[in-house]
Amino acid sequence: MKERNITITLNKAKEWFNSENATLKDIALQAFDKDELTFNFKRITTFKKACEALGLNYNAIFHITKSIATISKASAAMFKLNIIRKALNFGQYLQFTKSPKDSNLYYPYNPFVTESSTYYASNLNSGKMEIIGKIRSEGTLYDVLGGSAFFGGTSGLGGFGSSNGVGGACANVGFLGCATKEIAQHFGKYFGMLITEAKYGSIINDFEIVESKYEN
């Protein structure tokens, strides 16, 4: 019997592993571990891991984002976020309809508050949200929160209420939609600072990311 050695990419192996063909599934398992072939969005916690999950050349993409950042840091953040969103929702069918109640999309929500604000104190104390970083604008420091998500499609991208010192970086209306609430919460937790930069980096005076809990 003649034998041949074949080369198979991880993406092709994933395709074979998830097929109904037992032979192809077996070949995929011979080339890669089951953990590598089984998608788990929780493993994607950095931009580099998102690129790797999609089979993209991280170094090449990184240089592209650096070039975009020379023009607009907010645009560079948005570029990264679209790649991350695609990686997090790998293999998931996203449906967006005209009626929010019929939509199965969830969106990360990353409000920011003044350090002295108690607006989200109950959510922070219960563990539903956490402080994922800090931003500065015109000399004032704000805590950026993560771990929360919205369902459906409320209009608007973000806002800031000067009366209570609370800003909301909502990601609604087709922006960074996720297939499940858990994915959206994960998105907002690990990439909330990028989301905040994409939304406010070009419109808030002297916007600066001072601290980030998670590597992006």
Share of the chain above pLDDT 70, in %: 81
Element (H, E) at 160: strand 159-161
Q: Is the pLDDT of residue 155 over 60?
A: no
| pLDDT for residue 163 | 42
Look over the chain and give the mean of its residue pLDDT values, rounded to a whole number.
83
Cα–Cα distance for residue pair 131/147, rounded to 1 Å: 9
174 close to 97: Cβ distance less than 8 angstroms: no
The predicted model gives 42-60 an average pLDDT of 93
The predicted model gives 211-216 an average pLDDT of 91
Rg, Å, the chain Cα set: 20
Report DSSP letters for 193-213, one per residue.
HHHHHHHHTTTSTT-EEEEES
The pLDDT tens digits for 105-128 are: 888 989 999 988 899 999 999 999
Q: Is the pLDDT of residue 50 over 90?
A: yes
Helix axis angle, 22-31 to 10-17, nearest 10°: 140
Cα–Cα distance for residue pair 185/107, rounded to 1 Å: 8
| pLDDT for residue 177 | 84
Residue with tokens 């788990």: 40
Helix, strand, coil percentages in the chain from 3-state DSSP, rounded to 5: 40, 20, 40
| pLDDT for residue 160 | 45
Burial of 63 (0-12, 13-18, 19+ CB in 10 A): exposed
Q: Is the pLDDT of residue 51 over 90?
A: yes
Residue ranges covered by each domain of the chain: 8-38, 100-212
> Which pLDDT band holds residue 96 (cuts at 50, 70, 90)?
low
Q: Which two tokens stand for residue 65?
A: 């984002």
DSSP conformational letter for 106: E
Q: Which two tokens stand for residue 3?
A: 């034998």
DSSP conformational letter for 178: B
Q: Which two tokens stand for residue 96?
A: 């967006």
| pLDDT for residue 95 | 62
The predicted model gives 55-71 an average pLDDT of 95
